[in-house]
Amino acid sequence: MADEVKEQNTEKTELAEGKKAIRVNVVADKNAGAKNFIVKFGIHTVCILLALLSIFPFWIMIVNSTRSTVQIQEHALSLIPSTYVIQNFQILTGKSFNPAVGLLNSLIISTGSTLLTVYFSSLTAYALVAYDWKLKNAFFKFIIGVMMIPAQVTMIGFYQAVYAVGMTNKLSMLILPAIAAPATVFFMRQYLYPTLSMEIVQAARIDGAGEFRIFNTIVLPMMKPAIATQAIFCFVNSWNNLFTPLVLLTDSKKYTMPIMVSLLRGDIYKTEYGSVYMGLTLTVLPLIIIYLILSKYIIAGVALGGVKS
Amino acid sequence: MRKKKTGMVKYGKYGYIFSLPFAIAFLVFQLYPILFTAFIGFTDLKGVVPGEIHVLENPFENFQQVLTNPVFQGALGNTFLIWLCNFIPQLSLALLLTAWFTDRRWKLKGQGIYKVLIYMPNIITAATIAILFKSLFDYPVSPVNDILVKVGILKEAHNFLISKGMARGLVAFIQFWMWYGYTMLILISGVLGINPEIFEAAEVDGASRWQVFWQITIPNIKTILLFTLVTSLIGGLNMFDIPKLFLLGGPDNATLTTSVFIYNQAFSGSYLYNRAAAASMIMFFIIMFFSSILFLLLREKDTDGKAKYTGVSKKSEKKGGEA
Amino acid sequence: MKVFKRAMAIALSACMVASMTAGCTGSGDTGTPSTGTETGGTETGGDTTGGDTTGGDTTGGSAEGGTINVWAFTDEVPGMIEKFKEAHPDFNYEINTTIIATTEGAYQPALDQALAAGGADAPDIYCAEAAFVLKYTKGDMASFACPYDDLGIDTQAKIDEAQIAQYTVDIGTNPDGKVVGLGYQATGGAFIYRRSIAKEVFGTDDPDEIAKIIGSGSQNWDKFYEAAATLKDSGYGIVSGDGDIWHAIENSSDQGWIVDGKLVIDPKREAFLDYSMELMENDYHNDTQDWSDAWFADMKGEGSKGIFGFFGPAWLINYTLAPNCGGTAVGEGTYGDWAVCAPPVGFFWGGTWVIANKDSAKKEAVGQIIEWITLDCTEDGLQYKWANGTLNGEGGTKDCVASATVMAMSDGTLDFLGGQNMFDVFGEANSYANGKNLTQYDETINQYWRDQVRQYTSGQKTRDQAIADFKQNVAANLDVTVE
C-alpha cells in the first residue's frame, strides 16, 4: 500500500511538471492539445487509483457479508463473493433485536440531529457575520475554544448528568445537543464570511423583509454547498456514533444499528463474523444513499453557490 | 471592510437572538460536563463508585503526575508525529484534487464520481477499517505478506505490526486515507462559494491555471483553509478511534496517542477520572496554543492575499470589490 | 406518561414501603435507599394485591408479579431465562432484558452507572464475564452483589450437592466469604491434540498416554518441552503461538498481578518470557497470535507446519476448533482427528457469572432463576440441558457445566473428538483450575504483559527492558504501586 502511495506521489510531481510546461507555453502551442491529453490521462489514472482504494473496503465488507464465519476466519479478505447471504441474514434477524427497528432509530437520530445542526449552525454563523454586536468576538472565540476540548472525558460528565435526570433511553438526548455544534458553526462562519453580500441583505430589508425571513429565504439558499457538505459529515458522524448511544440507550427497542452490530461482535465465544459484516453492510447502505442524494450539491458544479450580482 | 456598514447597529440585537438557540443548547447539554471535567482535574475523584469528592491539598498534583509520566510524554510525541505524517500529505493531496476538480476550463469528465468515491472511506466506521488493515498486514499469514513473499521481495513472512515505525506509519496512512476526501470536500465547497465572475474575469485576462489557483482560489478560500487547519489540528491531536482499535496503542505504546492515554486512565481498570481530566485539560491548552498561532498567522495573510490578487487584473479587481 | 408514573409512585410509595420490607426475606438492606423504594412503586404498582401476597415463601413470591431487569453482554443468559419461564408457567414476572456488548468497553460503564443510580432501571440480575467478574464479586463493585443466601438459596448445601467447580466458587465469593456469583458453564482447560500426529510421533493417540508424555498435572513444563523437541524432529510444532500456553501459565501462578495494592510479577508468570522465547528460538510453533487468520489455519492443519495441539476449554472445541477444522464429519479436514487430555498445569479460560443486585425488590424470584441456572443439578435444571445440548431442543452443542454431578449424569461424547467423552477430562480439568490468583485489573495488565513479551521474543528489546517497560505501563495507567 505504501508503494502505491509513492507511485501516486511521483505521478503527482510528474503531473505538476506537466502543468507547469503547459503554463509556460500558454495556449498557442500546437502541442498543447496532446499535452493536455497526457495531463488529463494522468489525472484520470490518479483518480481511478484513489477511487479503487476507496471502494476496496466496501467491496471486502460486502463480499464478507456473503461468506460464512469459517470462511472469514480462514481468510479475512477475499474478493470473491460466497453463498451464505441468507444464512448470515437469518443469524442477524434471529437475534433478540430487530435490525429494522435499529435502522429506524438510527434514521430518526441522524436525521434529527443533522437538521438541527445545519440549521442552527447556519443561523449562529449568520449572527456572527451579518450583525455587529458587542459580544460577537467574544462569542466566536468562545465557540472556537469549546471546539478544542477533547471529547473522551467530558463524556463522563454528560452520562452522569443524563443518568441523574433520568433521561436515559430517550432518543431526544442524542438529537437535541446537536443544536450546539461548535465545529459546524465555525465552518459556516468561515464559509459565509467571504461569501455573504450585504448589498443583497440591504436590498431585501428595503423591500420590507424581516431579518428572520431574509435568513431563511436568501441566506440559506446561498449556503447550499456548505450546508450539503456539513449535512453529510454530520449525518455520517451521527450514524456511526457508537459509544454515546451504547451507554445511553439500554432498552433494546431503542438500539441503533451500530449498537446491534457491536452486540454481534461482542459474542466473544462464537462471533458470527458473516452476520457482523451483513450488519455492517446494512448499516452503511442507507448512509451511501443519503450521501449520494446530498452529494449532488457538491458534484453539480460551479454554478450553485456563487452570488449572482 | 464591507462589514462596517451603516445601519448595522440597529440590527445588532438579531445577533443575540440568532445565537440564542446555540447558547441555550450549549448551556443545557455541554456546560456541565465541561465544567465538571475542568473541576475534577483538581480533585481525588477516582474509582468505579467514587466517594465524596475532595479538592487535593496540592491542587496541581494530577497535572504534575501526568506531565512527568513517561507514558504520557511518549504519547504526546506519537500524537504529533502521527498527525504531521498524516496531515501534510492529506492537505497536499486534497488541494491538488480541489484544483483539478474545480478547474473550469478542464471540466474533467467523471469528476462527480471521483468526488463521491474519494470521500467514501470516511463513511465506514473506524472499527471496520481497523479490522481490515489488521488482516491486511497480519503475521504470519496475510495478503500483504503473501504477495510480498510470492513476488520475492520478502524471503519469509515479516511481522510488520511489531515494528514501531511501521505501526505509526500505518496509523498515519489510515488517517490520511480516511480524511483526505473529507478535506477535499471542505475545500471544494469553499471554492464553490467564490463568485464565478471572479474566475470568468481572470480567464478573460488570460491568467494561467497556476495563477488562477494560487492567486484567486487560494486567497478566496483562506477562511476555509483556516478552518481546515484548525479542525485538523484539533482532530489530529485528539486522534482516538484508529490508534485505539487498530493496535490498542501498541506495539510497545508506539501508536498510543494522548486521547488513548486519557481513555486508558479513565477506563482501563482504575477509573482515574481525576488524572484523565487533568490530561484532558493539558491537551486543551496545547491545542489552544497551536490554534492561536494558526489564527494569528492566517489573519495577517488574509489581507495580503486580497492585495496580491488585485494586481492580476483590473477587471477582476472591480468585480472583486463588488463582491 | 412520565408525570403519570411519578404520580403513581408517590401515591403507592407508602403501601410499597410496607410491602417491600415485608417481602424481602429478612435482609434489612432492601428497603433502605429511597430511590429503590420509589421506583419499586412504579414497578409493581399495577399489582394491587402486592401488599398481601408477600407471604415470604417461594410460591408467594411468584404470585406477586412485576418486572425483573436482566443485564447481560450476550443473549445467552436472557435466552436461558426465557426457557425458565417456559418451564415454570406459574412464574408470572416480566423479564426486561438489557444486552450491551463488551466490545468498545461499554458494558461495564453502563452497568456501573445503572447499579449506582438504582431506581426502576436498576438491574436485578446481571452477568459478568471472567475478564471483569472480580470487580463485581470482590472488587470495587462488590458492594452491590447480593449473597445467594439472601435470595432464599441454601447455597453451601446446594454447592456440595451439585459439586460445583471450586474455582468458580472462589471467584464468586465476596470478601466476607459469602457466595455472590456462580456460573453455569465450566471453563477448565485441557490440552486438545491431533490424534494422527500423536500416532505418527509418539506411536499412540490414547489420551492417558499422551497425558504422560506432555506431563499432565505435573505443574511444570519440562515434559511438555521435551515433547515439543520430539515433535520438532518430525517437523511439527507443539502449539500454534505463545498465546496458547499463556492461559495455563497465567493460571498456574501462586500470586495474582496485585497483592495489597502492589504489582507483583509471580516467578511463574515471569517465566512466560522464557517459555515464549524457547518456543520462538527452537521453532516449536508457527508464531501465530490467537484469533488471527494463521491461528485458525493451524486448526485445519494448513499452517506452515503441522500443529500438534491447542489449550482450551470445551467452548474452544465447540465454537472455535470444530467450525474451523475444515469439515463437519469424520474424515473431512481434521474433524474426528482430535482428542483431549489434562494439561500440564490446570487453568480456566472465560466463563460467565450470574450476580443479583442486593437492592433488588424481587429477591425471591431472582433467587429462583439464579438457583435454576447455577445450582440445580437435576435433569430439569439448566445445567443438565446445557451439558447435553438439549436446552433448545435435541442435538444442540454439548458444553461443560459447573456441576460435576451433572457432568457425571451426562454424555459428553463427541464425534469431533473421535468418540471420546470429553467430560471425563474436563471434569478433572475443572478441579485443577485455580480461582485464587485473579485481580480485577487482569485484562489490562495481561495486555501490557503480552505486548512486552512479544517485544522481547521478537528481538526488539532485552528481557530486563521488557520487564521495566511493563512496570512503567502498569504504573502509568493504573492505581497500583509499582516498585
Phi, then psi, of A107 in degrees rounded to 5: -65, -45
Q: Band of the pLDDT at B264, cuts 50, 70, 90?
A: confident
Residues of chain A neighbouring C297 (CB-CB closer than 8 A): 74
For residue A128, with 0-12 CB atoms within 10 Å meaning exposed, 13-18 middle and 19 or more buried, which class applies? buried
Residue B159: the pLDDT is: 85
In a domain, A79, yes or no: no
pTM of the model: 0.81
Smallest CA–CA distance from B46 into chain C, residue: C479
Strand order from edge to edge, sheet including C338-341: C309-312, C190-194, C338-341
Residues of chain B neighbouring A26 (CB-CB closer than 8 A): 206, 208
Nearest residue to C305 via CA among C279, C330, C328:
C279
Residue A153: the pLDDT is: 63
Domain residue limits, chain B:
63-129+166-322
Range of the domain at A7: 2-64
- A20 and A143 share one domain: no
Residues of chain C neighbouring B140 (CB-CB closer than 8 A): 286-288, 294, 304
User: What count of other Cβ atoms lies within 10 Å of the Cβ of residue B223?
Assistant: 21
Angle at C217 between CA C214 and CA C218, to 5 degrees: 75
Contact between C129 and C139 under an 8 Å Cβ cutoff? The reply is no
Name the DSSP letter for residue C301: T
Q: Which residues pair with C99 in a beta bridge?
A: C72
Q: Do B115 and A23 touch (CB under 8 A)?
A: no
Q: Which among C3, C71, C102, C103 is the top mutation candidate for probing chain A, defined by the most A β-carbons within 10 Å of its own β-carbon?
A: C103
For residue B146, with 0-12 CB atoms within 10 Å meaning exposed, 13-18 middle and 19 or more buried, which class applies? middle
Buried/exposed code over A81-95 (b: 16+ C-beta within 10 A; e: otherwise): ebebeebbbebbeeb
- A119 and A32 share one domain: no
Smallest CA–CA distance from B264 into chain C, residue: C477
Nearest to C99 among A76, A252, A265 (CB): A252
| Per-residue model confidence as pLDDT tens digits over B6-51 | 445 578 888 899 999 999 999 988 888 888 888 888 988 877 666 6
Contacts of B50 (CB under 8 A, 6+ apart): B271, B273
Report the C-alpha gap between B139 and B162 in whole angstroms.
9
Cis-peptide into A245, omega within 30 deg: no
Is the CB of residue A240 less than 8 Å away from at least one CB of chain C?
no
Instruction: Provide the number of CB pairs (under 8 Å) joining chain B to chain C.
Output: 89
- A160 and A255 share one domain: yes
CATH architecture label of C66-185+352-383: 3-Layer(aba) Sandwich (3.40)
Residues of chain C neighbouring B251 (CB-CB closer than 8 A): 451, 454-455, 460
Angle at B217 between CA B216 and CA B221, to 5 degrees: 120
Domain residue limits, chain C:
66-185+352-383, 190-347+414-477
What residues 251-280 of chain B have any CB closer than 8 A to a CB of chain C? 251-253, 261, 264-265, 267-272
Q: Do A187 and B291 touch (CB under 8 A)?
A: no
Is the CB of residue A252 less than 8 Å away from at least one CB of chain C?
yes
| Mean pLDDT across chain B | 82
Smallest CA–CA distance from A75 into chain C, residue: C293
Checking A10-13 for CB contacts under 8 A at 24+ apart, the result is A11/A42, A11/A45, A11/A46, A12/A46, A12/B93, A12/B96
3-state helix, strand, coil in chain C (%, to 5): 50, 15, 40
What residues 15-44 of chain A have any CB closer than 8 A to a CB of chain B? 19-20, 22-23, 26-27, 40, 43-44
Nearest to C103 among A159, A163, A262 (CB): A262
In a domain, A77, yes or no: no
Residues of chain A neighbouring C74 (CB-CB closer than 8 A): 263, 266-268
Residues of chain B neighbouring C287 (CB-CB closer than 8 A): 139-140, 159
Give, in order, the Cα–Cα distances in Å from B86 to each of A247, B81, B179, B223, B298.
31, 9, 9, 22, 21
Contact between A49 and A10 under an 8 Å Cβ cutoff? The reply is no
- A12 and A141 share one domain: no
Write down the residue that cell numbers 423591500 correspond to: A207
Contact between C97 and A252 under an 8 Å Cβ cutoff? The reply is yes
Write down the residue that cell numbers 506531565 correspond to: B67
Q: Do A96 and C101 touch (CB under 8 A)?
A: no
Q: Which residues pair with C145 in a beta bridge?
A: C357
Q: Which residues pair with B191 in a beta bridge?
A: none
Cis-peptide into A150, omega within 30 deg: no
Is the CB of residue C113 less than 8 Å away from at least one CB of chain B?
no
- A149 and A257 share one domain: yes
- Please check whether the domain covering C190-347+414-477 is classified as CATH 3.40.50.300: no
How many helices and strands (H and E) does chain C possess?
Answer: 23, 14
Residues of chain C neighbouring A155 (CB-CB closer than 8 A): none
Tell me the torsion sign for CA atoms C35, B43, C482, C249: positive
Q: Is the pLDDT of residue B119 over 50?
A: yes
Contact between A74 and C300 under an 8 Å Cβ cutoff? The reply is yes
Residues of chain B neighbouring C293 (CB-CB closer than 8 A): 135, 138, 141-142
Contact between B260 and B81 under an 8 Å Cβ cutoff? The reply is no
Is the CB of residue C218 less than 8 Å away from at least one CB of chain A?
no
Q: Are strands C258-259 and C190-194 parallel, antiparallel or unpaired?
A: unpaired
Nearest to B185 among A77, A153, A298 (CB): A298
Nearest residue to B163 via CA among B155, B175, B171, B154:
B171
Give, in order, the Cα–Cα distances in Å from B132 to each of A236, A259, A262, B108.
20, 20, 16, 32
Which helix (H) or strand (E) is B131 found in, with range? helix B126-137
What residues 150-209 of chain B have any CB closer than 8 A to a CB of chain A? 169, 173, 177, 181-182, 185-186, 188-197, 199, 206, 208-209
Q: Report, as an integer, the average pLDDT of B202-206.
A: 85
Q: Do B140 and C304 touch (CB under 8 A)?
A: yes
Report the C-alpha gap between B189 and A226 in whole angstroms.
6
Instruction: Provide the number of CB pairs (under 8 Å) joining chain A to chain C.
Output: 85
Residues of chain C neighbouring B268 (CB-CB closer than 8 A): 441, 444, 477-478
Residue C11: the pLDDT is: 35
Tell me the torsion sign for CA atoms C223, C227, C228, C229: positive
Report the C-alpha gap between C104 and C417 in whole angstroms.
35
Is the CB of residue B291 less than 8 Å away from at least one CB of chain C?
no
Q: Are strands C125-129 and C352-356 parallel, antiparallel or unpaired?
A: antiparallel
Is the CB of residue C73 less than 8 Å away from at least one CB of chain A?
yes
Residue C20 CA to chain centroid, in angstroms? Answer: 33
Instruction: Look up residue C85 and give its amino acid.
Output: K
Q: Which residues pair with C193 in a beta bridge?
A: C309, C339
Cell of B302: 488574509
- A206 and A264 share one domain: yes
Residue C21: the pLDDT is: 31
Give, in order, the Cα–Cα distances in Å from C421 to each of C66, C388, C400.
43, 12, 11
Nearest to A51 among B25, B118, B263 (CB): B118
Nearest to B123 among A152, A202, A287 (CB): A287
In a domain, A252, yes or no: yes
- A103 and A39 share one domain: no
Topology classification of domain B63-129+166-322: MetI-like fold (1.10.3720)
Contact between B286 and B43 under an 8 Å Cβ cutoff? The reply is no
Q: Do B70 and C476 touch (CB under 8 A)?
A: yes
Q: Tell me the Cα Rg of chain B.
A: 25
Cα first-last separation, chain C: 57
Residue C226: the pLDDT is: 94
Residue A299: the pLDDT is: 58
Contacts of B68 (CB under 8 A, 6+ apart): none
Question: HEC profile for B198-258?
Answer: HHHHHHHCCCCHHHHHHHHHHHHCHHHHHHHHHHHHHHHHCCCHHHHHHHCCCCCCCCCCH
Residues of chain C neighbouring B272 (CB-CB closer than 8 A): 478-479
Chains that touch B (3 or more CB pairs under 8 A): A, C
Report the C-alpha gap between C414 and C398 in whole angstroms.
8
Cell of A175: 438529537
Q: Is the pLDDT of residue B304 over 60?
A: no
Contact between A175 and B284 under an 8 Å Cβ cutoff? The reply is no
Q: Do B22 and A179 touch (CB under 8 A)?
A: yes
In a domain, A74, yes or no: no
- A20 and A97 share one domain: no
Q: Do B49 and C469 touch (CB under 8 A)?
A: no
Name the DSSP letter for residue B43: B
Is the CB of residue B154 less than 8 Å away from at least one CB of chain C?
no
Which helix (H) or strand (E) is B285 found in, with range? helix B273-310
Residues of chain B neighbouring C452 (CB-CB closer than 8 A): 252
Report the C-alpha gap between C223 and C216 in whole angstroms.
9
Instruction: List chain C pLDDT tens, one digit each, 483 residues.
Output: 333 333 333 333 333 333 333 333 333 333 333 333 333 333 333 333 333 333 333 443 444 568 999 999 888 899 999 999 999 999 989 998 888 877 666 788 778 878 887 877 789 999 999 888 998 999 888 999 999 999 999 999 999 999 999 999 999 999 999 999 999 988 999 999 999 999 999 999 999 999 999 998 888 899 999 999 999 999 999 999 999 999 899 988 889 999 988 999 999 999 999 999 999 999 999 998 888 888 888 998 888 889 999 999 999 998 889 888 888 888 888 999 999 999 999 899 989 999 999 999 899 999 999 999 999 999 999 999 999 988 887 778 889 999 999 999 998 899 999 999 999 999 888 888 888 888 888 888 998 999 999 999 989 899 999 999 999 999 998 888 988
Contacts of C231 (CB under 8 A, 6+ apart): C197, C201, C237, C238, C284, C308
- A112 and A32 share one domain: no
Contact between C72 and C98 under an 8 Å Cβ cutoff? The reply is yes
- Total structural domains in chain A? 2
Q: Which among B22, B29, B42, B223 is the top mutation candidate for probing chain A, defined by the most A β-carbons within 10 Å of its own β-carbon?
A: B22
In a domain, A87, yes or no: no
Within C24-143, residue ranges assigned H as helices are 34-44, 50-53, 58-64, 76-87, 107-117, 133-137
Nearest residue to B193 via CA among A194, C25, C7:
A194
Report the C-alpha gap between B217 and B223 in whole angstroms.
12
Instruction: List chain A pLDDT tens, one digit each, 309 residues.
Output: 444 444 444 444 444 444 444 444 444 455 667 777 888 888 899 999 999 989 888 888 889 889 888 887 777 778 888 888 888 888 887 776 788 899 999 999 999 999 999 999 999 999 999 998 889 989 998 998 888 877 766 777 787 778 777 787 889 989 999 999 999 999 999 888 887 888 888 899 899 888 999 999 999 988 888 898 889 889 998 998 877 887 788 777 888 888 888 777 766 666 778 888 888 888 888 888 888 887 777 655 433 444 433
Report the C-alpha gap between B201 and A122 in whole angstroms.
30
Angle at B303 between CA B297 and CA B306, to 5 degrees: 125
Angle at C241 between CA C238 and CA C242, to 5 degrees: 100
Q: Do B194 and A183 touch (CB under 8 A)?
A: no
Percent of all residues in chain B with a pLDDT value above 70, rounded to a whole number: 89
Residue C254 CA to chain centroid, in angstroms? Answer: 20
